[in-house]
Amino acid sequence: MKFNKLLTVIAIFLSLCAINTTQAQTTPTNNHCDILYAGQTTAVGSVCVTVNASDVNLDYLLIGDWKLTEAHAWIGDSLASLPTNASGNPQIGLFPYQADINSAAQYSFTIPISQLAVNVDTFCNAEIFVAAHAVVTRTVAGGSDDDESDDDDDDSDNGKSDKSGKNEKSGKAGKSGKSSSASKSSTSSASSGKGTAYNAVASNSDSKGKSKASGKAGKSDQSGKADKSGQSSKSGKSGKSGDQTGDGSSQPATQTESAWAGSMQIANGGSWASYFSFTNDFCTTPVDPYPVVVLPTSCFNVFGRGVTSSTEPVTVSGFTPVGVTDTANAWLNTYSSTPSGYFGGDLVRDNGTIVGTFLAGLGGNSDFAVELTLDSNASPSLVVRSANVYFDTAGGYLDMSPLDYGLSLVGNGTGSLIQTVPLIFAPEIMDTIVHAVVCTGGVE
């Protein structure tokens, strides 16, 4: 069963690609699709769902000569919110997304995720249910659509001839051309002058029984007389398939069907209305581009601000850091590894208070070193809980949280912290940012 369904899906998508180049280009990718069935068993296309960061796109794609005239859709993360009646059958008139369509092979709903019957917080990786209904049509030969139903208004007179051998309503008699009915009257008309009807009764025949108008429809014998026994028992009637000429030809008709996507029945024991579901793996929980530094109680952020001296030339650029909770001031320090390779500066809180000093720079061409020293006279006493240090070739820094600076250090419960990092390559001009979490009363 699954193998046959797979073949059907493959056939539908091959047909979609073959419809025309323009339509093939609009076929969604990175989506979940299921078959659209008309009349429960006829595959007439597919319904595809594509999810992005803000919207869900629901695409109806038909194959062959099938066209859409209506679409009704519901999407949710629980079937309990699907509009149904007391029997559990869906009420498409209450579906939130509806459209009247002018006979199209393709139609799309674009639905903001915020409007769906889903929990937005758990929408990613949730099981999503889709109830997609459509009304589909196509033109078929040899039938009649609902617009021709008034052709049956006068069926009771079809096939009758009057005493003169003239048919009164012979033009209507050939609606379907059932020859089996017509031939019943022909068996008794060989010499009595009764008219013979084949598919339709002859109209406007002369006294010799020859047809003047239709020629094909009915023949009479030499007498040309027809009594009441020449009635054809509605021999020209067969349904709605014939035209008005009485020659048995038929007009194209419109076939209209209700269609549902998927193969899972919505109401057990109810109507054949169906749905499909999929796991929403097309979106992921957004990752915060700037993870926040968590501050324990009695802790605060500090940043290193370089101090220029005659022996330690440094250029300091202020910026607003991201990923921190209690500060709006930070400094990017640009310096040359020659002649000294090191520079120094102050550790500064957001309120401008200096709580210590630091040194940072290159130890020759083989390592990078950083040293933090807090004010030993501060009361209460201060300790370094953690530190994050950025260092790279000058001009390459982009906004990032201190947690992404590259060098993360853990304090040792004291007011100082020293770390040396081996280097493979030491740039001559370097940018450095020094960040630390400082706490009072010890490290928690």
- The per-residue pLDDT for range 247-262, each reduced to its tens digit, is 555 678 999 999 999 9
CA-to-CA distance for 359 and 307, rounded, in angstroms? 10
State residue 54's pLDDT score: 82
pLDDT over 70 for what percent of the chain? Answer: 64
pTM: predicted TM-score of the whole model, two decimal places:
0.41
State residue 121's pLDDT score: 77
pLDDT confidence band for 186 (50 / 70 / 90):
very low
Among 124-138, 176-190, 366-380, 395-409, the minimum mean pLDDT is found in 176-190
State residue 165's pLDDT score: 38
The SS3 call for residue 348 is strand
State residue 178's pLDDT score: 39
Question: Does the pLDDT at position 225 exceed 60?
Answer: no
State residue 345's pLDDT score: 95
pLDDT confidence band for 100 (50 / 70 / 90):
very high
State residue 252's pLDDT score: 87
Per-residue pLDDT tens digits for 24-76:
333 333 468 999 999 999 999 999 998 887 889 999 999 999 999 999 999 99
Residue 233 gets the label, from left (phi > 0), alpha (psi -120 to 50) or beta, of left
pLDDT confidence band for 11 (50 / 70 / 90):
very low
Per-residue pLDDT tens digits for 227-244:
444 343 343 343 343 344
Q: Evaluate the omega torsion of the peptide bond into residue 339 and state whether it is cis, within 30 degrees of 0.
A: yes
Q: Which value, to the nearest 10 degrees, does the dihedral of the CA atoms of residues 207, 213, 219, 223 take?
A: 0
The two counts, helices (H) then strands (E), for the chain are 3, 22
Per-residue pLDDT tens digits for 161-173:
343 334 333 334 3
State residue 122's pLDDT score: 81
Amino acid at 12: I
The SS3 call for residue 254 is strand
State residue 313's pLDDT score: 79
Domains contained in the chain, CATH given: 2-141+256-279 (no CATH), 157-249 (no CATH), 299-440 (2.60.40)
Cβ atoms of 387 and 370 closer than 8 Å? yes
State residue 249's pLDDT score: 54
Q: Most confidently modeled of 233-242, 261-270, 280-289, 305-314?
A: 261-270
